[in-house]
Structure 1
Amino acid sequence: MMRDLFEKEVKKEERLFLSLCSQEDKQKVTQKIPMTFHDYLRITCIISNLRLFDYEVKIGERFPKYHEMKEEMLKRHEDILREYPDYYKDEDFDKKEQNWLLEFCSQMPDTCLQKKYAKKFGLKTQEKA
């Protein structure tokens, strides 16, 4: 019963993500072309910022090796942050995330959607002259 509800929500969230993402990302998440660990980090960052939490779980299940690698990376980051609280700031993690989100928005074919999601993500976009 709970699994059915989860799967129903996953399908809904997946449809939304696939309607917004690039053709290449669509092929990666559906396993038609290979995904790299970097792709996995970027895509899960976007999915998380879209608040598609059930779909994010499903992507982790679909790519268990990368999910495990990400968990290990986050544990290492926790250790680093204890000793070096400015680690994320100094390594420009925010800028990397902002760039991924901007890139995601800019590839959307509809400018209204681009603006809607840029606003949702709290991004400062460049207005085209």
Structure 2
Amino acid sequence: MIRRLVVGVRDSSSSRAALRWAAERARLTAAELLVVTAVPVPVPVVGPPGPVIIPDLDRYRLAAQRQLRTIVDDALGDGERPTIVQRVGWGNPYRVLRDVSSDADVVVLGSGRHWRSGRLVRRCRRLLGCPVVVVDQGRPE
């Protein structure tokens, strides 16, 4: 029985397809859906002689949360939704997925066309402790 699905997303069509697929499975099984995105940790910027510019982490976090809400709303529209929890993680996408999927029954990812997407999928399939479903524009692999 599936109780919890985790779907990793970014602003891409394959991520939206993965989110739609995961949301439908979660709805059909009454499972919780955790939608997570990873954002790089902002680093201070040092300019030639001058002050260090430290990024406003709260503003950065709020922007990432807004983008995640937009991705979810764009992908799922106004239809019936399962129970959804949205989370923004800082840093490496694999580590973020690993940290949030320890109690997941299934992890869902979009196939992506970027070389990093393929590397992430391979690493997740090899190292996560649950099945990993890869959705290619709506069709799971």
User: By the TM > 0.5 criterion, same fold?
Assistant: no
Name whichever structure is richer in helix by fraction: 1
Q: Give the TM-score range, shorter chain.
A: under 0.3
TM-score under structure 2 normalisation? 0.25
TM-score under structure 1 normalisation? 0.27
Name whichever structure is richer in strand by fraction: 2
